[in-house]
Amino acid sequence: MTTSAAVPTGPESAMTGDGSVTDRLVDANERYASEFTDPGMDAHPVLRVAVVACMDARLDLHAALGLELGDCHTIRNAGGVVTDDVIRSLTISQRALGTQSVVLIHHTNCGLESLTEEFRHELEMEVGQRPAWAVEAFRDVDQDVRQSMQRVRTSPFLPHTDDVRGFVFDVRSGLLREIDPAGERSPDAASA
């Protein structure tokens, strides 16, 4: 497995030589583009699935799910929670680009478990303007996955809500644990 974990993580890691991390990414893109071949595909996902997941850098979704380029739409945000913007993206994914299944992936050790809505108040005090968005912090990852599944299943904008499944990705083992939408904990979950 290739990761960037070997890259220095201190303040100096933001700089590489005379450039920034963004310069490093642009350089990497130039190398990528020099060998790039148009795969000849359009924007319709081959597997007709949209994956909604947390933005956490420890989740390599394509590797963890055995996905290839063009297989799915990937929608990521803090916590992987289903917000209005996620519903917007899923609606476009389904209505314009043919997806029919939705996979929701939260994970263990999520940063949103340590935040509260007080975060918004702190931002307001610092910058003088209250954010219009909710933090969507949670304490129980399983319950938050259930809430996200419910938001997808009840959206009037989504025509395909029969195949909506939610999971918690364990950042230590790499395994997915499926969440029962009815709230029944699996025997495996009791020991997690």
pLDDT recorded at residue 82: 98
Q: Strands, DSSP E only, in the chain?
A: 15-16, 19-20, 49-54, 72-77, 101-107, 163-169, 176-179
Task: Please give the pLDDT value at position 183.
Answer: 80
| pLDDT at residue 192 in the model | 46
pLDDT of residue 187: 53
What integer pLDDT is reported at residue 158 of this predicted model? Answer: 98
Compute how many other C-beta atoms are within 10 angstroms of the C-beta atom of residue 138.
20
pLDDT computed for residue 191 by the predictor: 47
Here the tokens at position 152 are: 């997808």
> Would strands 15-16 and 19-20 be described as parallel, antiparallel, or unpaired?
antiparallel
Report residue 21: phi and psi, to 5°: -60, -40
The pLDDT of residue 6: 46
Quick: pLDDT tens for 12-67: 544 445 689 999 999 999 999 999 999 999 999 999 999 999 999 999 999 999 99
What was the pLDDT predicted at 157?
Answer: 98
Nearest to residue 65, comparing CAs of 52, 56, 79?
52
Low-confidence residues in the chain, pLDDT < 70: 1-18, 184-192
